[in-house]
Structure 1
């Protein structure tokens, strides 16, 4: 079976930087433990990076979320150093300038993945958007969201996102 494990935007700015929140830090060890168990012969590891430039505040997203974050090459844009060994094993990394990545969706559409697992930040924003894109790109694939490997700063929005994902047939474990 062809599998992928996707880590969405687990970057410093979302953990303890300009948009950081406590729950984001709390899932770090869970993600590391899960990645340590992966068999890279049978599972492709994929990462997304939220990636903005200095003009972020002039973008539509920046107008609606006026907090500079994940400016390319900044410390906040990077993932925690402990993720470096996993980044070196990544099958592919996607740099996206908005919540969802069309490049990721197109890659998934052309892939042979039968099963795709998700983790990362922020549950009800980028994680949700990229799962929906994967759902559209690979409608017959098994999609799995690891709830203990994902976090949001808003429990109500997270619950709503999880309920919608379940309605689409995404497995929440």
Structure 2
């Protein structure tokens, strides 16, 4: 069986920056430990915007500049970076994305794991936006893969929206683990 971990948007701006939350800060240590101990292949996503973010559709709906390429908020959180450098897992790729879900991530996973027995685990931010988007896109790309979302290693914009996203993913045959 192929074991894959997808680390979604564990970037400074979502943890202690422009869109940071207490809940996001609370999962960093455990998420870093999951990365350090993971045996398999690690992929990830990086929310990536340009300085014209406020003129985009997303920027008009969420007028908070964040994850601007090259700025401190765009970088992976230092604890996550340390964990990546310390893991014995094979770190494959972190895909930049300018929207909630990553087509590139789906294409990479489909190319490498289609037709194989695969278990794909998700951790990261935000459960109710980017985690759900990427998990459901990967489910569509690899419908026979077992998908797991670690609820305790994800955080949403609010506790209620986190729980709603977990319920929606569960209905779409994503295994939710606590």
Cα RMSD after superposing both structures: 1.2
For 1:146, the equivalent position in structure 2 comes to 150
1:17-54 Cα distance to aligned partner (Å, 9 max, x none):
11011000000111011112112xxx111111000000
TM-score (norm 2): 0.91
Aligned to 2:120: 116
CA deviation after TM superposition for structure 1 residue 84, in Å: 2.4
Q: Where do 5+ consecutive residues of structure 1 fail to align? A: none
Unaligned 5+ residue runs, structure 2? Answer: none
2:160 is aligned to 156
Partner of 2:44: 47
Q: Which moved more, 1:132-141 or 1:113-122?
A: 113-122
Structure 2 residue 99 is matched with structure 1 residue 101: no
CA contact (8 A) 2:28 2:80 kept: no
Per-residue deviation, 1:110: 1.4
Following superposition, the deviation at residue 83 of structure 1 comes to 2.4
Segments of 4+ moved more than 3 angstroms: 85-89
